[in-house]
Structure 1
Amino acid sequence: MVASLGLELSNCRGQSYDNAISDDEKRDTRNEAGALCGKLEQLETAFMAHFWDAILDRFQATSIMLQKSDINILTAVNLLKSLRAFVSSQRDQFDIYEKAALNVTGVNKTYKRDLQRSRKRKTFADEEGANDVSNLHSGRDKFKIETFYVIIDKLVSCLDHRLSAYKHLTEIFGVLFLVETASSSEITEHANTLVSAYPSDLDSGLANELLQFRSFMFPETDKSPSNMLKTILKFGLQSVFPNVYVALRMFLTLPVTNCEGERSFSHLGRIKNELRTSMKQKRLKSLSLLAIESELVRDLDFSDVVEEFARRKARKKVIT
């Protein structure tokens, strides 16, 4: 992104906008190109190019990891928390992004706000001569407060909303990751919470199984859920730790990401399409009724109707 910005500026700099595009282009096209080139020369554009290049790079890497099939919810939550911490830390990096933007060749060294004439609001006779608040900040401070900080706060808010969706599940299954450090009373309390959430799959023996499983897994180095499940399967301990086995399977099969359709398509858009623009109301009502009651239509036998239609529309004539 940043490299392409510098290339475009180098192409625009030192020549008129009309000459930067072929002469056979229309004037409107040349004017539009000139306006775009002027946008590229703004300091704010170079700043945002460096800023979004760093932000989107971290978001892209995290998003790819979250879409992997072998990732679990705990890892996803830790990734989102680390991404939130990274975005929050960028709040103090304004000077670094500004310095990088100023080093781009062809970029103005002044903010757009400082190049504009200050607007003075007309005051009436009954008003006091107070200064306009919008003119108290410089172009740098205005861009920092109204654009940079707003973007950071919005990103952090969206990540917090995403983390809140996993908060309930991580609290319920958190007992699976406290088997080493937690006390017996804490394990029992959290285990009972997990059992109450899934009463048909787990029973009250989960707490005792976790206490024994803690001693069994203590020599192991990897305490990830997948490794704990592999250990149970490796040694055939499903009958010894049945509730732990079921809880680990439930945790590892919980989906990390999900998707949904933006909206469902209407049957009317499928029935009355561009090939049926001349359809009249009677036929449209009949086809709509068939589409709505599609389950009943599939069970109907149309063989007699097809034979009767073929007999009436047959073009063959018997020659005597």
Structure 2
Amino acid sequence: MTNYFLCVVDQAIVSLNSRFEQYQEYEKTFAFLFTSDKLRSLEDNDLKSCCLRLEAALKHDEVYDIDGTDLYVELKLLVHSMPKEKMGPIGILESIKHLDCFTNTTIAYRILLTIPVTVALVERSFSKLKLIKTYLRSTMSQERLNGLAMISIEQDMLKTIDYKDLIEEFASKNARRMALFI
């Protein structure tokens, strides 16, 4: 029993360390975009190196999501044109959304604001799974549990399903069942 407990604790520590390393890498890559004050405080050379580092981080094979040099120029213009009040990433994105001249900046902020959601989505999925698998449902089959979990987690997709088409497709699979739905 003690051996099992130590394995579980060890795995938890490894997982937490991995998660913190991911967040540190995330901060190293995107920290200069976190607030308008941070953008204003950076020297030109530091800002340019941050933009080039972000360009390298957002490279997939030989395709770049943003151009680091263009991002640098856009951010220099943005710093001089945005209000003096402190703004976070959402505020900055909202202020440039209607302008078409900050394409790289818009892409960078969208990615910045999307990454935490992808991490939180996994955590929410496990929370939903815990709600579904209650004491009363402890004898449910794995297939049913998976189905209920998918329905609970993917509620947005579930709302777009046309039930009439679903019923027709289900009825067409088996001639005996057609009489039940008509």
* TM-score, scaled to structure 1: 0.31
What is the alpha-carbon distance in structure 2 between the residues aligned to residue 212 and residue 232 of structure 1? 11
The 5 Å alignment of 1:49-128 reads none
What is the alpha-carbon distance in structure 2 between the residues aligned to residue 270 and residue 240 of structure 1? 50
Q: Which consecutive residues of structure 2, in runs of 5 or more, have no partner in the other structure?
A: 1-12, 130-140, 145-168, 177-182
The 5 Å alignment of 1:199-278 reads 199=59, 200-203=64-67, 204-217=69-82, 219-233=83-97, 236-237=98-99, 239-254=100-115, 255=117, 257=120, 258-259=122-123, 260=125
SS in 2 for 1:205: helix
2:24 corresponds to which letter in structure 1? K
What is the alpha-carbon distance in structure 1 between the residues aligned to residue 93 and residue 48 of structure 2? 20
What is the alpha-carbon distance in structure 2 between the residues aligned to residue 164 and residue 221 of structure 1? 32
1:192 corresponds to which letter in structure 2? L
Q: 1:165 to 1:211 in 2, by over 3 A?
A: same
Q: 1:240 to 1:164 in 2, by over 3 A?
A: same
What is the alpha-carbon distance in structure 1 between the residues aligned to residue 31 and residue 79 of structure 2? 14
1:229 deviates by: 1.2
Q: 1:165 to 1:197 in 2, by over 3 A?
A: closer
1:205 deviates by: 0.7
**Residue deviations 1:228-284 (CA, integer Å, cap 9, x gap):** 112113xx32x221111111122112215232558xxxxx8659xxxxxxxxxxxxx
What is the alpha-carbon distance in structure 1 between the residues aligned to residue 95 and residue 173 of structure 2? 59
Q: Which consecutive residues of structure 1, in runs of 5 or more, have no partner in the other structure?
A: 1-156, 263-267, 272-297, 308-320
Structure 2 residue corresponding to 1:164, chosen from 17, 21, 24: 21
Q: 1:163 to 1:229 in 2, by over 3 A?
A: same
Partner of 1:53: none
Where in structure 1 do 4 or more consecutive aligned residues deviate above 4 Å?
Answer: 268-271
Which structure has the highest helix share of the two?
A: 2
Residue 195 in structure 1 maps to residue 55 in structure 2? yes
The answer to which structure, 1 or 2, has the higher relative contact order (CA under 8 A, 6+ apart) is 1
Partner of 1:119: none
2:105 corresponds to which letter in structure 1? V
**RMSD over aligned Cα, in angstroms?**
3.7
Q: 1:164 to 1:209 in 2, by over 3 A?
A: same
Partner of 1:275: none
Partner of 1:121: none
1:164 deviates by: 2.7
Q: Percent identity?
A: 23
What is the alpha-carbon distance in structure 2 between the residues aligned to residue 302 and residue 245 of structure 1? 47
2:106 corresponds to which letter in structure 1? Y
SS in 2 for 1:223: coil
**Residue deviations 1:71-96 (CA, integer Å, cap 9, x gap):** xxxxxxxxxxxxxxxxxxxxxxxxxx
1:223 deviates by: 2.2
Q: 1:181 to 1:302 in 2, by over 3 A?
A: closer
How many corresponding residue pairs? 117
1:174 corresponds to which letter in structure 2? A
Determine which structure has more spread, i.e. the larger CA radius of gyration: 1
